[in-house]
Amino acid sequence: MTVLLLAGLLAACQQAPPEPQAPPPAQQNGYGATERAFVELSIATDEQALKLVDLTGRAELRQNRATELVELRKLLDAPFVNNHAGHDMPGMPTDAEIELAATSPDALNQFVHNHLTESLEVLRSAGSAITHPPTAEVVKLMERHRTAELAAG
Amino acid sequence: MKKLFHLATVLALAAGVLSIPVAAQGEPVRVAEFLAECPISHRLPDDPIVLPNLPGASHSHDFFGNHSTDARSTQQSLEGQTGNCNPVADISSYWVPTLYRNNTAIAPTGVTFYYLGEGVNNPAAIQPMPYGLKIVAGNAKATGDADSIARWSCLHAGHVNPSKNFVECPSGTMLETYLDFPQCWNGRDLDSSDHKSHLSYPVAGGCPSTHPVAVPKLRMVLRYPVSGSPAGLRLASGTGQTMHGDFFNVWPRSEMERRVRNCINVVLKCDHAGNHG
């Protein structure tokens, strides 16, 4: 009976397709498209940033990025896919920059500074757009980290 | 129909007198096509499809068409705005990663969006693209030729072989890139989590059962004022192979429907206004 009902429903659907739908909007304060995009972008950025800050003698930079990655991965609702690899994203050091930083202390300082200031801009943008409380907490954590790192460095 | 016959007859007679090929004359061209030409409107580090509501979080994009497009754009925010397309009726948003030579951004100077009936065997069955459709074509994550559908060539230098990466165009010619969007829709979704899988490419002239609704094929053609060595060229997304395009359909429904009916379904080449000869 259930099968018949399902078959009937399917047939009805084929005859009269529903109006096209955008993905349902996230529930208020839910983990929606903006949260998902932010988390995936931030994981991609922090993974790349780790390669850069590894070149510095500043342990807190490495520790902070690693802590953020743990918190960000907890927020994922699907396997992580890096949609931004190789792109020139704000706050994300490029492979060419990391190579140059490995041979030039001045370049290293500049690229670390750029990573911090640019990703702080992204975080401020995220802070005003993200309503999901656990994601918003990670945004605040990342902002605190970068603000302190800039003050220290 | 009468008009077509009349025109064709006159042209054939004229061609006979002049001993020139009929096809070179202005008879209706049997190509299913309408188009919009939309120069660059603005440039922003925004992406309303991939990074919605996150201004400043994206790699740089060149935006065409709707003047209002930014990270917070929605169907509702775009409709009722103006754009810079010819025809003005098209207020859709289109965007691509910014092209750089070293660190200098280079804007395309020729930007045409063709809507085509080719690729499926039965253009009469092609339906208008759904209003509000969002779609990304190309592979921003491409790591080489194998996972790229980019195509780079030279305008007015057909002897330069097309490539998936940048090519060296002779002086006096222009670097151009083509990108074909998928044209088979799943009939249900205006977007998907990867912003691609609600559409697919046709297989052997037909749309697969998972994506049964044929819609016009969007072909983006960009021309950049670039020639000479491709050294130093890069996209904001990386190599030439990472060329990708984003489309947010806000063509007024009646304008899209009229063009699909008058140009695509009957296989005629239309002008900017959606009229054929």
Q: How far apart are CA B214 and CA A38, in angstroms?
A: 33
The more confidently predicted of residues A67 and B28 is: A67
Tokens of B122: 């039965």
* Confidence class for position B76, pLDDT limits 50, 70, 90: very high
Say if residues B203 and B193 touch (Cβ distance below 8 Å). no
Contact with chain B for residue A90, Cβ under 8 A: yes
Query: What percentage of chain B has pLDDT greater than the value 90?
Result: 88
Q: Which stretch of A93-107, A116-130, B17-31 has the lowest confidence by average pLDDT?
A: B17-31
Q: What are phi and psi of B57, to 5 degrees?
A: -95, -5
Contact with chain B for residue A86, Cβ under 8 A: yes
**Minimal Cβ distance to B54: which of A21, A34, A83:** A34
> Taking Cα atoms as reference points, which of B134, B125, B235, B144 lies closest to residue B191?
B134
Q: Is the pLDDT of residue B75 over 50?
A: yes
CB contact under 8 A, A20 and B188: yes
Give A139-152 pLDDT, tens digit per residue: 999 999 999 999 99
Give A107-125 pLDDT, tens digit per residue: 999 999 999 999 999 999 9
**Over chain A, what is the mean pLDDT?**
88
Q: Is the pLDDT of residue A17 over 80?
A: no
Averaged pLDDT for residues B232-252: 97
Q: How far apart are CA B118 and CA B112, in angstroms?
A: 17
Q: What is the ipTM of this complex?
A: 0.83
Place of tokens 């979704």: B189
Measured between beta carbons, the chain A residues lying within 8 angstroms of B54 are 34, 37-38, 41, 122, 125-126, 129
What's residue B9's pLDDT? 40
Q: How far apart are CA B245 and CA B270, in angstroms?
A: 24
Give B130-142 pLDDT, tens digit per residue: 999 999 999 999 9
Tell me A22's DSSP state. P
What's residue B18's pLDDT? 39
Q: How far apart are CA B33 and CA B35, in angstroms?
A: 7
Q: What are phi and psi of B255, to 5 degrees?
A: -70, -40
CB contact under 8 A, B141 and A85: yes
Measured between beta carbons, the chain A residues lying within 8 angstroms of B234 are 88
Tokens of B37: 């030409």
Give B174-218 pLDDT, tens digit per residue: 999 999 999 999 999 999 999 999 999 999 999 999 999 999 999
Tell me B263's DSSP state. I
What's residue B28's pLDDT? 84
Say if residues A117 and A149 touch (Cβ distance below 8 Å). no
Question: Which residues, 6 or more positions from B230, have their beta carbon under 8 angstroms from its beta carbon?
Answer: B165, B166, B167, B168, B175, B240
**What distance in Å separates residue A84's CA from the closest CA in chain B?**
7
* Confidence class for position A28, pLDDT limits 50, 70, 90: confident
Measured between beta carbons, the chain A residues lying within 8 angstroms of B238 are 86-88
What's residue B33's pLDDT? 98
What's residue A18's pLDDT? 56
**Minimal Cβ distance to A125: which of B55, B238, B239:** B55
**Minimal Cβ distance to A87: which of B56, B193, B237:** B237
What's residue B21's pLDDT? 40
**Over chain B, what is the mean pLDDT?**
92
Helices (H), B63-183: 75-78
